[in-house]
Amino acid sequence: MTLFSKAALGGAFMLLAWNGTATAQTALNIGCTATTDCASAAVALEEGIFKKNGLEVTMTLIGINSNIPAALLSNSIQIGGPTPSVFLQAVDGGLDLVAVAGASSTSKATFDTAGVVATEASGIKEPKDFVGKKVGAPGIGAFLQVLFSKWLIDNGVDPKSVNFVEVTFPTMNDTLKSGAVDAVVTAEPMMSRIIASKTGAPAGYFLETLPERRPQILYASTREWADANADALKAFRSSIDEAAKIVNENPQKGRTAISSFTKIPMDVLSNMKLSVADPKLETEQLDWWVATMDEQNMLQSKPDTSALIQK
Amino acid sequence: MKRAWWKGLVVPAALIVLAELAMRVQGSTSMSLAAPSDIVAAFFAILFDGSLLLATRDTLVSAGIGLAAGGFIGLALGILFGLVKPLDRLMEVTIEAIRPIPSVAILPIAMLVFGFGYRMEIAIVAFSCLWPVMIMTRSAMAGIEPRLLEVSRALRLSTWDRVHKIVLPAALPRIMVAFRLAASIALVVAVTVEIAANPLGLGYGILVAQQALQPAVMLAYLVWIGIVGYLLNAALSLMQQRLFGRAGRVEAAS
């Protein structure tokens, strides 16, 4: 064998080997918002768990959670992390999405990561004080506002009697300070900063009375993608299972991964509780969300939750 | 002009010093404001790690291609409607019904059709640049000295010759103004689309910095967008003066 043919053979082998790895890796783009709820995906990416399971994963930071269904449908992302309310409203609106795994869920350990903070001048101390007041929320009809409204209903206050306005997280402290709103529905890491700067004081932790293990963020895809990529989905789920354990047992790794995904500085994340990673998703959990949203007239139809979780 | 160039800078400089003092003295904990010196530091940080230039490229490519596409379609339609009056009247209701749609309102549709990326942004920028160019081209055509058109008819010029020998040269200064107007719209729309949905470019840089609680970085992007906009307008205005001489200057002033 001449040197030339040896080189050619070697080259061919290398090409084959390279091709082999390229086909074994399924490319996957995951879209999440800048919260700690997608920590399991961020950890699986950061720790190379996706790669180990044959997935070539990239993560895209999505500005507004309600953009996720459209991003899924246009195949810009294959898996996204919508809140259950965004997910159910998209399904209710006719988009064929399925939940493929759980990302995070409520827990007694993390109820104080979200709450409503009111100024002293507003005189708000308990649920009935919110009547007629102006309350800033990061999104009307979004996760926090829905759960805050549920808290009001459970305490005998009609959320319609509260004047809601949208205020983005980073401007909450300034908006509250200026007196433009009486209270803000907020979450960490903003909440503790607002309280520390004495702009307002906590007036209610509306996650406290919720049952355990209600999903906060779930991983979803289009039904078409989930059906066509059963193997990739299996690899995704086992990666998330493995990563979720790391997030819950070793939050520092979760923080590092979240920081590299969202660019939130480590000094902000370091004294912040991460949402509990909970990869299991059951029909009953979605049913609870459907009931909660029905109570606030947010759904047109009654979604068949058993068909909404990919087998 | 030369001896007083610095006078315009007195007010901005004073405001910047005031902002710096206010932030330092008060010890601000704001998550949406930052001291000017922090903004400058953040600016150089994102400049040297390459993210600023990459984002600028993405935004300018989208805005530029969108402007070119929208401008070309607008120009073609404007000339067509300017030349063929019955067609203009026929299309009036249709155009006037589509034109007022805010460009950002077509975002959800564009996102479903194109997904994230350049194509979605280009489509929306093109949509918003089309209208000012079309309308100003059409009115520029109406403003052409009628005797020029009479001459072209007397000379029995073909339609193509009439357009590129008489109509375009006569209307060009005003069309150039339309392009300048559209260019500023293109940048605004491109950045808006990036903030609202598209994960690339300067707008996305603002969004990420905002959500990452880094107001200094966010404001550095904001200042840079202002500078880019200013430079873009200055370049187009210079081009206009060079190409059209006094005609361009008169139109630009009007």
pLDDT of residue A21: 42
Nearest by CB: A60 against B114, B199, B209: B199
Q: How do residues B164-201 score in pLDDT, each as one tens digit?
A: 888 888 888 888 888 888 998 999 999 999 998 888 99
Q: How far apart are CA B112 and CA B120, in angstroms?
A: 9
CB B84 within 8 A of CB B234: no
pLDDT of residue B166: 85
Per-residue pLDDT band for A16 (boundaries 50, 70, 90) equals very low
CA torsion sign, B152 to B153 to B159 to B163?
A: positive
Q: How far apart are CA A169 and CA A264, in angstroms?
A: 13
Cross-chain Cβ contact B31/A262 below 8 Å: no
Task: Of B161, B187, B164, B190, give the one whose Cα is nearest residue B175.
Answer: B164
The helix or strand, by DSSP H or E, that contains position A167, with its residue range, turns out to be none
| Mean pLDDT computed over B94-113 | 88
pLDDT of residue B65: 96
Share of chain A above pLDDT 90, in %: 64
CATH of B35-253, one of 2.30.110.10, 1.10.3720.10, 3.40.50.300, 3.40.50.10470: 1.10.3720.10
Q: How far apart are CA B71 and CA A78, in angstroms?
A: 34
Nearest by CB: B31 against A60, A170, A262: A170
Q: How do residues A279-289 score in pLDDT, each as one tens digit?
A: 999 999 999 99
Say if residue B83's pLDDT is above 90.
no
Quick check: B117 contacting A, CB < 8 Å?
yes
Quick check: A62 contacting B, CB < 8 Å?
yes
B170-209 residues touching A, CB cutoff 8 A: 195-197, 199, 204, 207-209
CB B221 within 8 A of CB B209: yes
Q: How many CA atoms lie within 13 A of B173 on its CB side?
A: 16
Kindly tell me the number of DSSP H helices and DSSP E strands found in chain B. Answer: 11, 0
SS3 content of chain A, % helix, strand, coil (to 5): 50, 20, 30
Lowest mean pLDDT: which of A44-48, A137-141, A239-243?
Answer: A137-141
Quick check: A169 contacting B, CB < 8 Å?
yes
Lowest mean pLDDT: which of A72-76, B26-30, B223-227?
Answer: B26-30
Nearest by CB: A73 against B112, B199, B215: B112
| Mean pLDDT computed over A165-181 | 90
At B206, list the tokens: 């603002």
C-alpha distance from A61 to closest chain B C-alpha (Å):
7
Cross-chain Cβ contact A170/B211 below 8 Å: yes
Give the strand pairing for A183-187 and A163-166.
unpaired
Query: Which chain A residue is nearest to residue B109, measuring alpha carbons?
Result: A70
Cross-chain Cβ contact B208/A70 below 8 Å: no
pLDDT of residue B249: 53
Nearest by CB: B115 against A64, A74, A193: A74
Angle at B23 between CA B20 and CA B28, to 5 degrees: 160
CB A69 within 8 A of CB A86: yes
Give the strand pairing for A215-222 and A97-105.
antiparallel
Per-residue pLDDT band for A18 (boundaries 50, 70, 90) equals very low
Query: Which chain B residue is nearest to residue A35, measuring alpha carbons?
Result: B211
Task: Of A242, A256, A255, A310, give the one whose Cα is nearest residue A55.
Answer: A242
Domains (range + CATH), chain A: 25-106+213-304 (3.40.190.10), 109-204 (3.40.190.10)
C-alpha distance from A80 to closest chain B C-alpha (Å):
13
Q: How do residues A104-158 score in pLDDT, each as one tens digit?
A: 999 988 888 899 999 989 989 889 999 999 999 988 888 899 999 999 999 999 9
At B139, list the tokens: 């009115």
Quick check: B118 contacting A, CB < 8 Å?
no
Quick check: B41 contacting A, CB < 8 Å?
no
